[in-house]
Amino acid sequence: MATGDGFLTGEQRKMLKIASQNAENLSSSPKGLSSSPKSPSQLFSEHHLKVPAAGKATNAGIAVRHVRRSHSGKLVRVKKDGAGGKGTWGKLLDTDGESHIDRSDPNYDSGEEPYQLVGATISDPLDDYKKAVVSIIEEYFSTGDVEVAASDLRELGSSEYHLYFIKRLVSMAMDRHDKEKEMASVLLSALYADVISPSQIRDGFVILLESADDLAVDILDAVDILALFIARAVVDDILPPAFLTRAKKTLPESSKGFQVLQTAEKSYLSAPHHAELVERKWGGSTHITVEEVKKKIADLLREYVESGDAVEACRCIRELGVSFFHHEVVKRALVLAMEIRTAEPLILKLLKEASEEGLISSSQMAKGFARLAESLDDLALDIPSAKSLFQSLIPKAIAEGWLDASFMKSSGDDGQVQAEDEKVKWFKEEVVTIIHEYFLSDDIPELIRSLEDLGMPECNPIFLKKLITLAMDRKNREKEMASVLLSALHIEIFSTDDIANGFVMLLESAEDTALDILDASNELALFLARAVIDDVLAPLNLEEICSKLPPNCSGSETVRMARSLIAARHAGERLLRCWGGGTGWAVEDAKDKILKLLEEYESGGVVGEACQCIRDLGMPFFNHEVVKKALVMAMEKKNDRMLDLLQVCFNEGLITINQMTKGFNRIKDGMDDLALDIPNAEEKFSFYVEYAQKKGWLLAPLGSSVADGSSNAVAGT
């Protein structure tokens, strides 16, 4: 019975049969579910059965699991535990061994190929930008070519990083001679609004101020130099004067950046004739003083009047190399035209050709006219007819196309065309844009920021007049938005006098306004009455306004109409809804929403959600009501959790210091009534006031005026 395969017992044959069935099942399973199925003999051999050899002696002593007979009849020694050798199946469910991928296999999947991670250097776009602008700045300092520098910066792209260009340009210039400092200021003026936006200019100077401490380590007089750069930017109208005030709020008083702003304000911008002082501080980019440049301009203009050679005059202007100072050419040319009446045609011809050639830009041309307009009073001492002559030159320049038509101001009051102070004209143009944007966006905080950036609080009445005039010619939505905005402005930046004077200006021009807006008188009366209901104006202010108007004018009649509206029954509710709710709902609805959101927060709500609800109200001018109700609720519930909410709102700028102070004042004013319901109200309120003062929430001692003093935007709850 001995054979080459040895003898098997019945039990062994049964195991072999089971192993064969298992192998068939595994071989028919989908790819990926099994790796290398075991052969029946492998499975069988795992029981370590030694089969007695028979036949050839050479096979004696070899375990069955270590021997396999090939098709050729030869015995093949296989790997221990199977899973190897030519013609073998491999180990059952073998996942530990190395897999070998056969690309000729029908089931070959390239995704199973082994791969190797290759490290690669990732470049930072900001680092690349900073390196590129260094070469642009170095080349500019070498050549002085503003146009090339502007073109290179424009081609570089990455406009979101331009604030870092400002920082690098100024910081590099600070460590060089006056020539480079002047060149840096000239380049900033050239890039302003054309290549770099005004907001990026501001942000660039902000990060310069924040890094002033580091700059002072390498540059001994860094504070003074940076202060002069900021003063020069203000003089060149690329930074608004309000920038200094706003930037101070973001810097610690002990920082070098704060010192820079103080130096700029006190040493440069407050000095007499500060503009001329700042402009000549670095001597000009051509290494000659401002006085020398002015002398050369005067000489070339007189030579031109004698010769009449406009080409030669333009060449001389170009050779001066002071494109940022071409407004002086315009100003002196116009003065010469007034002094020598026969020279006027030649002067106008020169300015026209200089404009057409692009030698004198439109902004420099307008600036030259504006500077002359500012000095007309002094000029009239030497040239009595200076004002009338100047006004005659403006339409000629506009008609010939070398002066922007916006310089000509069409008076809204009397329809007469006249030249006015350039800054006021510019302010009017800017606020019209700001008001239009507000009507589209309904973003009060952004409008307030824009107004502060203009830095002309003396023109607040003009803004009010423009706002209401534009609103009257629109739908009820815009009228409601205008009334809401007045309440916010009164709290934040407008005084009661500003608003009263604005209404006086409106009422003085009411007859002319009625030519364009048929119902102007009734609309103005509603705006006046609404202002009183919103506590923007007090009833006594109506008397003051009326006293400033002629006795029997239509404006006086409008004031009387407003008084009648206020005296009517339920006037408050009617006037609050006079525009149909406009952008939102009546103040009573706002109070209900505030109460609900505070109750929800007090019962376990999340601070972030409460802040978002306050933000969604869209009534920042009414946030003092949030403060008032939060404090009352804290007193009633004997839970100081509301203070945490107020702290977060204050930190995020959601509730301003003015609104916070007004809310506390409203609690103080109603303390007698409050004490009837909450016996210890005064004690709790004193604690809250002390806490608020420690946290810096309050602008002034309670009881003093914030915007108007004792105003309550709405009657108490």
Task: Please tell me whether residue 703 adopts helix, strand or coil conformation.
Answer: coil
Non-local (6+) Cβ contacts of 49 within 8 A are 12, 64
Cα 614 from Cα 611, distance rounded (Å): 5
The total of other beta-carbon atoms located within 10 Å of residue 1's CB is: 5
Grouping H, G, I as helix, E, B as strand and the rest as coil, residue 208 is helix
Take residue 170 and report the two structure tokens written for it.
């100024």
**494 within 8 A of 453, measured Cβ to Cβ:** no
C-alpha to C-alpha distance for 666 and 627, rounded to whole angstroms:
9
Task: Return the DSSP state at 659.
Answer: H
CB 280 within 8 A of CB 185: no
How many whole angstroms separate alpha carbon 410 and alpha carbon 437?
22
Beta-carbon contacts of 508 under 8 Å, excluding residues fewer than 6 positions away, are 413, 549, 553, 555
One-letter amino acid of 62 = I
CA distances for 317 relative to 215, 306, 400, angstroms: 38, 16, 21
Q: What is the separation, in whole angstroms, between the first and last Cα of the chain? A: 113
Cβ(36)–Cβ(89) below 8 Å: yes
Q: Which two tokens stand for residue 679?
A: 């016996």
In the chain, count H helices and then E strands. Answer: 36, 4
Q: Report the C-alpha gap between 717 and 711 in whole angstroms.
A: 15
Tokens found for residue 259: 């010192």
The reported pLDDT for the residue numbered 113 is 64
Helix (H) or strand (E) holding 504: helix 496-508
User: How high is the pLDDT of residue 463?
Assistant: 92
Q: How crowded is the C-beta side of 350, counted as CA atoms within 13 Å?
A: 31
What CA–CA distance (Å, rounded) separates 35 from 372? 93
Distance CA 589, CA 70 (A): 95
| In contact, 274 and 268? CB cutoff 8 Å | yes
**Can you name the residues that pair with 69 across neighbouring β-strands?**
75
Tokens of 268: 């440069």
| Beta-bridge partner residues of 67 | 77
CA distance 337 to 394: 13
Beta bridge partners of 171: none
Q: Is 89 within 8 Å of 37 (Cβ atoms)?
A: yes
pLDDT at 416: 37
d(C-alpha 663, C-alpha 676), whole Å: 20
- Return the number of other C-beta atoms located less than 10 Å from residue 111's C-beta: 6
- As given in the structure block, the two tokens for residue 449 are 């920021």
- Find tokens 């902004």 and name the residue: 363
Crossing angle of helices 554-567/520-533, nearest 10°?
A: 50
Which residue carries 């143009």 as its tokens?
Answer: 429
Distance from C-alpha of 490 to C-alpha of 624, rounded to nearest angstrom: 13
- The list of the chain residues with pLDDT below 70 reads 1-8, 22-101, 110-123, 272-273, 283-291, 324, 408-421, 515-516, 518, 573, 580-588, 618, 620-621, 700-717
Residue 503 amino acid letter: F
User: CA angle, 364 as apex, 361 and 366 as ends, to 5°?
Assistant: 110
User: pLDDT for 334-357, tens place per residue?
Assistant: 999 988 888 888 999 999 888 888
Q: Which residues pair with 34 in a beta bridge?
A: 31
Determine contact, residues 505/462, Cβ cutoff 8 Å: yes
- CA dist 470 and 473 (Å) reads 6
List, in order of start, the domains of the chain with CATH numbers. Answer: 126-280 (1.25.40.180), 290-405 (1.25.40.180), 427-576 (1.25.40.180), 587-695 (1.25.40.180)
- Tokens describing residue 25: 């099942």
Predicted local distance difference test score (pLDDT) of residue 23: 61
The burial of 19, by beta-carbon neighbours within 10 Å (0-12 exposed, 13-18 middle, 19 or more buried), is given as buried
